[in-house]
Structure 1
Amino acid sequence: MSVLGVGFIGAGPVTQAIHLPHLAGLSDRLRTVHVMDVDPGTAEAVAARTGARASTSVAELLADPRVDVVAVCSPHSFHAEQAEACVRAGKKAILVEKPFATTVGDAERIAHVSAEAGVPVVVGAMHTYDPAYLAAAHHWNDLPATARHIRSVIQLPPNSRYETLATQLHGTPPPPPTADLTSPDGRTALMSGLILGLAIHNLPLVRRFLPEVEAVDHAILLDPAGYSVTLHGPDGRTAELVGHIGHSWRPEWTFEAWGADTSLHLDFTPSYVRAGSAEATVRTPEGTRSFGPFPHNGYAAEWLHLADLANGVTDPLHSPKDLVEDLAYAIRLADLAGRFLSREGARA
């Protein structure tokens, strides 16, 4: 197959420190040919690293005939408009970074346009593409239907530590404004941002084992940045979600699910670390099976899947309906956790 040209809308830290290093290792399939950013200095500096064209206009990127696939890595509020423009421009496949959109209505619009035009859209939920996770799925029997408790833990040092190791960042965006935690609205907004910015990495996995959230039983904010949320579904299943950005170097990124006689444990590498896939363990009455680490992590796997979609040699791993429902799940959870927090005012 010919090498596909990739265009980036947005050249921030995720593009620079995650996507470009991964694409460098997949140069036989994909090559960065165009980098667009509203800051011309950032666009030019980042594009120069790969010999790509630089621009400050989405329209200019979409008009570039060398761009076969597009990665939408802009601020969340622009995802829906830009993803729709990419589809309508007739590109072969689109990657939209998390979250898919900021409203369910916008996500439904992207899904509709994608289906109508026959242009596949992938959301950057990298763990759903992780080879160890997918291998484990063939051996966990009926665990998604019988799991009683789920736990997702994301314990990381600040992103800047990984970014510094991964690349030399250009044009680091300013930090978000400090939330006013003395007000219910401030606490709600911070919790929502943490759910849709950090917890969302694992929420498609959580939804697979807990398809519906009935209520949030407990939610607190963690210092210096993070959350602890417990919830339950209508059938008595429970889940515990912990996310924490602290000062410790030692990371933990795990996902676990337990049923009556079957359990799943996944240990993921941090996003910025190209150290292969997760390691997965499935325990059943028949014994214990382990999977991974495989050479590719979820980011590399989703890019390879995107290339196959663009070439028309595979079907989407996740349907447009799945992508919309994943976002609706995340938004509902953020809303329920925010409401709980605004009532209780809890912070650890």
Structure 2
Amino acid sequence: MPNAPRSGERTRIGVGFLGAGPVTQAIHLPSLSRLTELFAVAHVMDVDESVASSVAGRVGARHSASMDELLADPGVDVVAICSPHKFHAAQVIAACRAGKKAVLCEKPFAVSAEEAAEIAAVSAETGVPIVVGAMHTFDPGWLAAERLMGSLPETAHTLRSSVVLPPNPRFEDFATEVIARPAPSRPDYSEPAVIAAALEGGILGLAIHDLPLVRRFVPTFDDLEVLRAELVKPFGYEFLLRASGRTIELTFAMNATWKPDWTFEAIGPDSALKVTFTPSYVQAGSAVAELTASGSTTVAGPFGHNGYEGEWRRIAGIVAGTEQAPDAGTLIDDLRFALTIVDGARAHVLEAAA
């Protein structure tokens, strides 16, 4: 595990974490442990100071229960925001105002288009770049797919994101012994408002991984229609959407078996793309891209690292000045796309109930 830089040792980029839950423990710390030549974990903050202390102790970092204390820490160059969604916008803005070199924020980086626009304005004002942790967009398998797909973004008529996963703790526990895991809840799914909230959670918590990929094929979505929005037992969702003349299918099912599956597909009249991703929390292997056209299939991948590591490599390049930060307008439109689906799903559920 990376250790905090010692006094006078500033050859590595110091990282500070706001939030020390499963995402920090089972995703980011293992990823950074493979990039110790680039990064050192300097500070871990959590509202539960005992959790912050325990997690920081694994990597030799400082700890606190105060965002202000972390932002004032001169050893923190990059702030990673892994707190609940509702805190993201305020924390991103505070990190930019603190003059850090970059901010990595877990998705969604805001919960409204207005918050997203405010974040973009502050980022532009302060010059602090923002990276949203949609790891699939940084996966070398997806980046290879973008190079392969040719005219498919203009011709595709069907887009699919299909996910089958067992419960997250199976993956989390492979990476680390997660402490302070949230207690599972059992909502009453007979109530339309609860169903709508669960579908919102599915979009902003899971489908959002692939929505930036969908947006590669759906640059405009003012005409988006939600044709179907349903929960799948014991937990999952099915969405059927139309936008820009494309059919979009988003499905997720959780089951008790081990075998996971996560695929993204784009299908056109003359070619088809399939990208197979590793599951969330898995720290090995990149996506594999397969483009079929003219009767033959071109395969790209697997590569030497996955999207989790890819996003940190991108941050290192941004800090070094060798790579560009993601376009703020694209990040805002990706979020607007997700929120438009959420609004449409809520209306669909409440209308069906009425």
Q: Normalised by the shorter chain, which TM-score bucket?
A: over 0.9
Name the counterpart of 2:214: 206
Report whether the alignment pairs 1:91 with 2:110: no
* 1:324 paired to 2:332: yes
Q: Is the 8 A contact 1:9 1:72 kept in 2?
A: yes
1:176-215 correspondence runs (5 A): 177-211=185-219, 212=221, 214-215=224-225
Q: TM-score, normalised by structure 1?
A: 0.95
The residue type equivalent to 2:352 in the other structure is: E
1:219 to 207, 223, 229: 229
**Uncovered stretches (5+) of structure 2, i.e. residues with no partner:** 1-9
Contact kept? 2:161, 2:263, Cα under 8 Å:
yes
**Runs of 4+ that moved beyond 3 A:** none
Three-state SS of the structure 2 residue aligned to 1:209 is coil
Unaligned stretches of 5+ residues in structure 1: none
What count of residue pairs does the alignment treat as equivalent?
343
> Which of 266, 270, 275 does residue 279 from structure 2 map onto?
270
Q: Any conservation in 2 of the 1:279–1:292 contact (CA below 8 Å)? A: yes
Q: Which amino acid aligns with 2:77?
A: D
Q: Which amino acid aligns with 2:343?
A: D
Q: Match for residue 240 of structure 1?
A: 249
Task: Report what 1:260 is aligned to.
Answer: 269
Give the counterpart of 2:241 among 231, 244, 247: 231
Residues 25-59 of structure 1, C-alpha deviation per residue, up to 9 Å, x if partnerless? Answer: 11110111100000011000000000000000000
SS in 2 for 1:168: coil
Aligned equivalents of 2:96 and 2:118: distance in 1?
11
Return the alpha-carbon distance in structure 2 between the equivalents of residues 298 and 138 of structure 1. Answer: 16
| Shift in CA distance, 113/286, structure 1 to aligned 2, threshold 3 Å | farther
Instruction: Work out whether residues 187 and 342 of structure 1, in 8 Å CA contact, stay in contact via their aligned partners in 2.
Output: no
Aligned residue number for residue 336 of structure 1: 344
Q: Does 1:307 align with 2:316?
A: yes
**Which letter maps to 1:231?**
L
How far the C-alpha of 1:338 sits from its partner, in A, is: 2.2
Shift of residue 173, structure 1, vs aligned partner: 2.2
Correspondence 1:6 to 2:45? no
Aligned to 2:164: 155
State the TM-score, normalized to the length of structure 2: 0.94
Matched, 1:118 2:127: yes
AA at the equivalent of 1:289: T
User: Could you report, residue by residue, the CA deviation over 1:54-102 in whole angstroms, capped at 9, with x for unpaired residues?
Assistant: 0000000011101010100000000000000000100000000011111
How far 1:183 moved relative to its partner?
Answer: 2.1
CA offsets per residue over residues 93-136 of structure 1, 9 Å max, x none? 00000111111111111111111111110000000111011112
Residue 286 of structure 1 and its aligned partner are, at CA, apart by 7.5
Identical-pair percentage:
50
Q: 2:174 aligns with which of 138, 151, 165?
A: 165
Matched letter for residue 300 of structure 1: E
Distance 1:229 1:133 in 2: 23
Task: Tell me, yes or no, if the aligned pair for 2:175 and 2:283 is still in contact at 8 Å.
Answer: no
Aligned partners of 1:181, 1:314: CA distance in 2, in Å?
46
Kindly indicate whether the alpha-carbon contact (under 8 Å) linking 1:184 and 1:343 is maintained by their aligned counterparts in 2.
Answer: no
17-26 or 181-190: which moved more? 181-190
